[in-house]
């Protein structure tokens, strides 16, 4: 039987965080990784290390991982930031829910929802009024079940594809 426990990851867990992050990226960007050099992949790892060092130090990122005994099961992160205050968010405090990931052999057991709920609770304790995320098709129903609503008129400009 599963012996699941959640662990908050901080700066003292940097190597663990980086290992998890690179596993997530390897799965999410499997096709892109095939076309990348080892040096480019290592550069991404270094940039993630810089990010974690900066953001964890100033409490701009919160990360958790779930384990089954000693086996890594899944993880997620919450990037905390401020946007311009507005009537629906007077403080401007926001979060970006990201990298909700569960290894294939553990999927369809409610673990992703458990990760999300833990991160949403953290956002509430931090006074966050808005949480944004991007979703794969596979996870749309999960996020809707947690109360997330699709945003019409939301666009993204990929600067790598711009001239």
For the whole model, what pTM was predicted? 0.89
* Total structural domains within the chain: 1
Residue 158 lies in a domain: no
Give me the pLDDT at residue 1, please.
42
Residue 114 lies in a domain: yes
Residue 20 lies in a domain: yes
pLDDT along the chain (163 residues), means of 10: 86 97 94 94 97 96 96 96 93 95 94 97 94 91 94 81 71
69-111, pLDDT tens digit by residue? 999 999 999 999 999 999 999 999 999 999 999 999 999 999 9
Residue 10 lies in a domain: yes
Residue 70 lies in a domain: yes
Give me the pLDDT at residue 25, please.
95
Give me the pLDDT at residue 163, please.
65
Residue 154 lies in a domain: no
Residue 113 lies in a domain: yes
Residue 98 lies in a domain: yes
Q: Are 14 and 69 in contact (CB under 8 A)?
A: no
Give the CATH number of the domain where residue 99 resides. Answer: 3.40.630.30
144-154 burial, b at 16+ Cβ within 10 Å, e below that, comes to eeeebeeeeee
Terminal-residue alpha carbon distance, the chain = 54
H-state helical runs in 8-139: 14-28, 30-34, 38-57, 111-125
Q: Are 66 and 100 in contact (CB under 8 A)?
A: no
Give me the pLDDT at residue 3, please.
86
Burial status of residue 12 (CB atoms within 10 A of its CB: 0-12, 13-18, 19 or more): exposed
Domain carrying residue 9? 4-148
């Amino acid at each position: 039987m599963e012996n699941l426990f959640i662990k908050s990851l901080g700066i003292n867990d940097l190597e663990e965080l980086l290992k998890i992050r690179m596993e997530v990226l390897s799965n999410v960007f499997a096709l892109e990784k095939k076309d990348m050099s080892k040096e480019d992949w290592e550069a991404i790892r270094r940039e993630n290390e810089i990010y974690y060092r900066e953001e964890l130090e100033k409490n701009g990122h919160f990360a958790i991982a779930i384990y089954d005994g000693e086996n890594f099961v899944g993880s997620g992160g919450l990037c905390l930031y401020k946007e311009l205050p507005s009537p629906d968010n007077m403080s401007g405090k926001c979060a970006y829910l990201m990298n909700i990931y569960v290894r294939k052999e553990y999927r369809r057991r409610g673990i992703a929802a458990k990760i999300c709920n833990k991160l949403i609770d953290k956002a509430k304790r931090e006074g966050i009024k808005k949480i944004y995320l991007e979703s794969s098709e596979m996870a749309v129903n999960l996020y809707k079940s947690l109360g997330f609503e699709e945003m019409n008129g939301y666009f993204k400009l990929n600067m790598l594809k711009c001239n």
